[in-house]
Structure 1
Amino acid sequence: MTDQYMSPTPLLDFEATPIQRLIADRGWLSLSQTDRIGAVYDFVRNEILFGYNSDHALPASRVLADGYGQCNTKGTLLMALLRAVGVPCRFHGFTIDKRLQRGVVPELVYPLAPRNIIHSWVEVFHDGQWLNLEGFILDAPVLAALQGAFPERQSLCAYGAGTDCLQDPNVEWREASTYIQKTGINHDFGTFDDPDTFYATRRQLTGVKGILYRVLVRHWMNHRVKMMRNGHVPKIPGGEANLVPTQTTHEMQGAI
């Protein structure tokens, strides 16, 4: 595997002392590749809580320090840790329909959110093939809260989840692809060697809306996620009609 999938970058700053200390403390380098992937994946999924950082394009060491993240920031940390333990990986960029964030974004500001939100997952090279890793985004308590709130549902596109198998989603590392937001995807940008290349030309949190997001809205969203983690899932106006993906979103899945 070439260096392009193994090298550090400004965002994948796995040579930073906190990341190297974490790897040493956990003993990940002594594991097999399968178990290295699993250990790193489980750490990012459950020990880095689901939440919203100040920007999509943060260095992995900053995400680790924050202790929380969403698809893009948790993905950057996952990539950095994978490369640090010798596992090749790359970035796959998308957008998701904003309906996937319904229930997390407060209703008062939901109309201001961009229709298409930058999204990504990590592709890892394992056992001779590329596997998609996306199931790390929601930590287990948040997912359990959604399963408990909607026990009869399988299809859900809201509250940070986009899945047709809510009660048994493919989120555990079993040497296969994992997903938790896939049905919200509505545009595919393709693969990139690293997140730096992608974010160099695609940024979303800019201007007045970006400032509003950073200083107010994301903290409001994180409070709502904390409520979800504690079992209090906010109601969405409009009921069942706002819990499923759009037809365009479903059509998009066949192209991935």
Structure 2
Amino acid sequence: MTYLEPSYFFDYNSSPIQQLIAEFDIDTLSKKEKAVGIYTKIRDGYMYNAYAISLNQDNYRASIIAQKDIGNCVTKSILLIACLRGLGIPARLHLGKVKNHIAVERLVEKFGSNELTPHGMVNAYINGKWLKMSPAFNASLCHKMNVAPLEFDGENNSFLQQFNSEGNRFMEYIDDYGFFDDVPLVFMMNNIKEHYPHIFDTGDATTEFNL
């Protein structure tokens, strides 16, 4: 199956990914237990930062991402997909556009909008069905923003925090770009340049932005 194969971006045979999945790569765990374990480890082990954006393809490679301690929704999704495939679980990247409604002042200042694109999540094939999950927001950040962390149980979709604990709108999907068997870097770069042209005005393909 295509969604199990390694690639330049999903390089799960690399040492950093093998080290990351080692505790779950044991026969006594079911695929569901492996998926839940690695999802939680990546969700909370890498702090979410929406403002770390790169035009360098190496920064979208799972083995490189694994050696950092922060990531955005796309890079954390790439890392999770590589780990899932390394554990024998088919997984693919799902991209879309989202709108944030809480703590958006800095988003608007830096991006000129409270819409984030492309937003990344993961589709994983577990026990005969595709499930959606988003490892983007680490639990400590969720608590700070008064939003319940997304828990993944290996049986149900877990990808959207619509409201905070007070019932206020937090996040909504406003566009769906579909799923991809590998990282569609050209599509992603064109997408962010189209939506945020004021950020990417250097033309330098090696640039990494921390807004």
**1:20-59 paired onto structure 2 within 5 Å:** 20-24=18-22, 26-30=23-27, 31-52=29-50, 53-55=52-54, 58-59=60-61
Q: 47-56 or 123-132: which moved more?
A: 47-56
How far is the alpha carbon of 1:75 from its aligned partner? 0.2
Whether the 8 Å contact between 1:55 and 1:205 is mirrored in structure 2 is no
* TM-score normalised according to structure 2 size: 0.77
**2:180 aligned to 178, 192, 209, which one?**
192
Q: Which residue of 1 aligns with 2:82?
A: 80
Q: Which residue of 1 aligns with 2:98?
A: 96
- 1:209 equivalent to 2:195? Answer no
Larger strand percent = 2
Q: Which residue of 2 aligns with 1:140?
A: 139
Q: Which residue of 1 aligns with 2:157?
A: 177
Task: Please give the per-residue CA displacement for 1:107-160, whole angstroms capped at 9, x wherever unaligned.
Answer: 54343x5855211211111111111112x211111101111xxxxxxxxxxxxx
Q: What CA distance in whole angstroms lies between the structure 1 residues aligned with 2:63 and 2:201?
A: 23
Unaligned runs of 5+ in 2: 163-170
Q: What CA distance in whole angstroms lies between the structure 2 residues aligned with 1:67 and 1:92?
A: 22
Q: What is the aligned-residue RMSD (CA, Å)?
A: 2.7
* Alpha carbons of structure 1 residues 110 and 201: separation in structure 2 relative to 1, 3 Å: closer
How far is the alpha carbon of 1:29 from its aligned partner? 3.0
Unaligned runs of 5+ in 1: 148-165, 218-256
Question: Structure 1 runs of 4+ off > 6 angstroms?
Answer: none
The count of residues paired between Structure 1 and Structure 2 equals: 189
Q: What CA distance in whole angstroms lies between the structure 2 residues aligned with 1:186 and 1:9?
A: 30
Matched to 2:84, the amino acid is L
Question: Any idea what SS the aligned residue of 2:145 has?
Answer: helix
Q: What CA distance in whole angstroms lies between the structure 2 residues aligned with 1:209 and 1:118?
A: 15
Q: What CA distance in whole angstroms lies between the structure 2 residues aligned with 1:101 and 1:8?
A: 37
State the percentage of identical aligned residues: 22
Greater RCO between the two (CA within 8 Å, min separation 6)? Answer: 2
* TM-score normalised according to structure 1 size: 0.65
